[in-house]
Amino acid sequence: MNNNLKSYIWPLLLFVLVSISAIYEIDLHYQNRELFKEYQSLVKQKDQQEIRWKELRMELSKVASGTGLEKQATEKALMKLPDSSKIKIVVTNEKK
């Protein structure tokens, strides 16, 4: 009986070690997939932030140049530049 038990110990031990190794490998693969999904999400978020940054820079350059303000004044308030012949410049020499 003792000899019979010894013959099954090594295969059983080998089976347990292989099973533990397989479970560990499956867990590593799962963690790798989860981290890759998180990485893809972060890359997508970074791309969206870069697009937003470019939009903000374009808006800032439009505001700084004044073309946006002129366009809004023309469209919303129906303002336009007067004829150059109708423009009069008043110069005052007030000294305080």
> How far is the C-alpha of 91 from the C-alpha of 86, rounded, in Å?
16
DSSP code at position 28: H
* pLDDT tens per residue, range 23-46: 999 999 999 999 999 999 999 999
**51 pLDDT above the threshold of 80:** yes
Would you call 43 exposed, middle or buried from its count of C-beta atoms within 10 A (0-12, 13-18, 19+)? exposed
Residue with tokens 């410049």, as numbered in its chain? 89
Q: What is the pTM of this model?
A: 0.54
What mean pLDDT, rounded, does the chain reach?
87
